[in-house]
Amino acid sequence: MKRLLILGYLVSAALVLGSGSALAGSGSATVSIKSIGGAGKVLVDAKGRALYSNDEERGGKVLCTGACLSFWKPLTVSGTPKGASLPGKLVVVKRPDGGRQVAYNGKLLYSFTLDKPGKVTGDGFKDAFGGQKFTWHVAHPTGVKTAPSAQTSTSPYPGY
């Protein structure tokens, strides 16, 4: 049963990703700071969804590809990312698929597909795709104290 649920979710996620605009933000992305209960001040996208980075991607090297994109959606732009009120630097990194992903202070930014606006459910997740292991953290603005992670390496989602 768990495998069927996961398979169903992956198929629906693939359909969403295949629509193009679901993966790539149109125009310029807006990154801002929002206080979310239990997580403190975090970076959010234009829809108010928390943004994450992982420990493994450094120096602009994109490792989250393929099946990883079923759960972690890169914050992409076609123009220049906007985040004027941020105390750090937004840059753009070219993805292997040709997309332009936003990074904050050197960390590539992603949203977690199981999050809803105003919620942080992917903080502390550990997963692996295609043999590549990842540890995910909600992105906090530079110089802001972080709240303790409410999530550890276990997931409330069956089979994940």
Q: How many whole angstroms separate alpha carbon 104 and alpha carbon 92?
A: 9
Take residue 114 and report the two structure tokens written for it: 């199981």
pLDDT of residue 90: 93
Count how many domains the chain has.
1
- In what helix (H) or strand (E) does residue 138 lie, and over which residues does it extend? strand 132-138
Assess if residue 150 is contained within a domain.
no
Q: How many whole angstroms separate alpha carbon 118 and alpha carbon 115?
A: 8
Assess if residue 160 is contained within a domain.
no
Q: Tell me: the pLDDT tens digits for 137-160?
A: 999 998 655 444 444 334 344 334
* Closest alpha carbon to 127 in 139, 113, 141: 113
Assess if residue 147 is contained within a domain.
no
Q: Which residue range(s) make up the domain with 107? A: 2-138
Assess if residue 24 is contained within a domain.
yes
Assess if residue 96 is contained within a domain.
yes
* Closest alpha carbon to 82 in 45, 28, 43, 120: 28
Assess if residue 148 is contained within a domain.
no
Assess if residue 143 is contained within a domain.
no
Q: Tell me: the pLDDT tens digits for 59-98?
A: 889 999 999 999 999 999 998 999 868 998 999 999 999 9
